[in-house]
Structure 1
Amino acid sequence: MRRRTATVRGIELGRARPEIIVPLVGAYEDELLAQAEEAVGTRARIMEWRLDRFRPDLEDVEEHREAVIAALPALRAQLGPDRGLLATFRTTAEGGTRPLADLDLGILLEALVTGRRAGTQSAVDLVDIETARDPRTVQRVVSAAHRHGTVVIGSFHDMEGTPPEEELVEILRAQRRLGADVPKIAVTPHSPRDVLTVLSASLTVAEDLSGPHIAISMGPLGASSRVAAETFGSAATFATVGAGSAPGQLRAQDVAEMLELLRP
């Protein structure tokens, strides 16, 4: 039985070599576009726009949302037609840089996937929603994304530790039941055995053959999980061009070479 995949711009998540996702964390549009230009020069085929890192000078939720929507066409143009764009607002509860109420998070992400402003239609290929948010917000984002052909990454981050393997497996499976096309867990290890816990959970879920997922053990201790993705069934890994977005991320060029060297 062939494992199901998720496809954006001809990029098939869950098939063969894991994809490299590069976070774009520029605070202002010129910095964002410069980092995007550099990222396009790597083997990474998906870029993650970290919306919570953008325009830290704008505290008002509506002003920030308008700035994001206004910057989107230029970013999409910078990436070109062959790179996927993942929109992510990481809240402070899961390691992000600014808080956002569930209702406002839903409004922002729905605006991006529906292309409410001229020129933004189909600009976002994937959207991240934290599945621990209010269930109504999660369902709102999932439904809007699927109506507009946008792949949903349902994410869970534990910045303090690594839950037991059975709990990680259930989180990934529950995210898929919520409608996530690509469930994702990222947790913090305190021992090598914690890293093994994540890898084992990833392999268990991969054996479900229910679709792609992402499993990451963060920080320097978990760096091996970022390059062993293919062996243990994870469909993607995150790597940096310039500034990163999470502890333990490696350079995109180095990750590309290691993924090739470590192919099973």
Structure 2
Amino acid sequence: MRRRTATVRGIELGRARPEIIVPLVGADEEDLLAQAGSAASTRARIMEWRLDRFRPDLGDTGEHREAVLAVLPALRAQLGPDRALLVTFRTVAEGGARPIADVDLGILLDALISVRRAGTQSPVDLVDIETSRDAGTVARVISAAHRHGTVVVGSFHDMETTPSEAELVKILRAQRRLGADVPKIAVTPRSARDVLTLLSASLTVAEDLSGPHIAISMGPLGASTRVAAETFGSAATFATVGEGSAPGQLRAEDVAEMLELLRP
């Protein structure tokens, strides 16, 4: 039985080599577009726009949303037609840069998912939603994404510890049941055994053959998980071009080389 995949712009997540996702964390339009240009020159094919890192000077959620929507066309043009765009608002509770109410998070993500110009592909290919947020908000974002043909990354981040293997498997499977096309967990190891826990959970879920997922152990201790993704069933890894978005991220080109060297 062949494992299911999720496809965006011809990129098939869950098949062959794991994809490299580069976070874009520019604080203003100039920095954002410059980083996007640099990222587009690497072998990475998916870029993650960290909305919570954009325009920190705008405290009002409505003003921030308008600024995000205003720069989206330029960002899409900078990435070109062959690279996919993942939009993510990482909340403070899960390691993000700014707080946001669940209702405002839903409004922001729905606005981005809904953007479409006549005769063109949607500028947003994937959307991240933290599955620990309000259940109604999570359900509405997932439903809106699927109506618009947008792939959903359902995410969970533990910035302090690594839960048990059974709990990690439970989280990934629950995210899938909620409708996430790509469940994602990122956890913090306190020992080498924690890293093994994450990798074992990833392999267990991969053996379900129910679709792609992403599993990462963060920080220097977990760096090996960012290049061992294929062996343990994770469909993608995160790597940097310039400033990163989470502890332990490696340079995109270094990761691309290591993924090739470590292919099973």
TM-score, L = length of structure 1: 0.98
**Matched residue SS, 1:255:** helix
Aligned to 2:149: 149
**Matched residue SS, 2:216:** strand
Q: Deviations over 1:52-98 (max 9, x none)?
A: 00000000000000000000000000000000000000000000000
Aligned to 1:241: 241
Aligned to 2:226: 226
Matched, 1:158 2:158: yes
1:55/1:64 contact within 8 Å kept: yes
Aligned to 1:78: 78
2:116/2:123 contact within 8 Å kept: no
Matched, 1:172 2:145: no
Matched, 1:198 2:198: yes
Report matched runs for 1:127-142 at 5 Å: 127-142=127-142
Aligned to 1:19: 19
1:73/1:119 contact within 8 Å kept: no
Gaps (5+ residues) in structure 1? none
- The aligned length equals 264
Aligned to 1:65: 65
Aligned to 1:94: 94
* Alpha-carbon offset, residue 148 of structure 1: 0.3
2:228/2:262 contact within 8 Å kept: yes
Aligned to 1:111: 111
* Alpha-carbon offset, residue 107 of structure 1: 0.3
1:88/1:129 contact within 8 Å kept: yes
1:129 & 1:228 partners in 2: Cα distance?
25
Gaps (5+ residues) in structure 2? none
Q: Which amino acid aligns with 1:141?
A: V
Provide closer, same or farther for how the CA distance between residues 88 and 154 of structure 1 changes in structure 2, counting only shifts above 3 A.
same
1:216 & 1:64 partners in 2: Cα distance?
29
2:216 & 2:41 partners in 1: Cα distance?
25
Moved over 6 A (4+): 116-121
Query: In percent, how many aligned pairs have the same letter?
Result: 85
Q: Which amino acid aligns with 2:248?
A: G
Q: Name whichever of 5-14 and 116-125 sits farther off.
A: 116-125
* Alpha-carbon offset, residue 117 of structure 1: 8.1
1:110 & 1:89 partners in 2: Cα distance?
12
* Alpha-carbon offset, residue 41 of structure 1: 0.6
2:239 & 2:124 partners in 1: Cα distance?
20
1:153/1:184 contact within 8 Å kept: yes
* Alpha-carbon offset, residue 121 of structure 1: 6.2
Q: Deviations over 1:206-234 (max 9, x none)?
A: 00000000000000000000000000000
2:182/2:212 contact within 8 Å kept: yes
Matched, 1:252 2:249: no
Aligned to 1:189: 189
* Alpha-carbon offset, residue 125 of structure 1: 0.1
* Alpha-carbon offset, residue 119 of structure 1: 10
Provide closer, same or farther for how the CA distance between residues 159 and 134 of structure 1 changes in structure 2, counting only shifts above 3 A.
same
Aligned to 2:51: 51
TM-score, L = length of structure 2: 0.98
**Matched residue SS, 2:238:** strand
Provide closer, same or farther for how the CA distance between residues 119 and 222 of structure 1 changes in structure 2, counting only shifts above 3 A.
farther
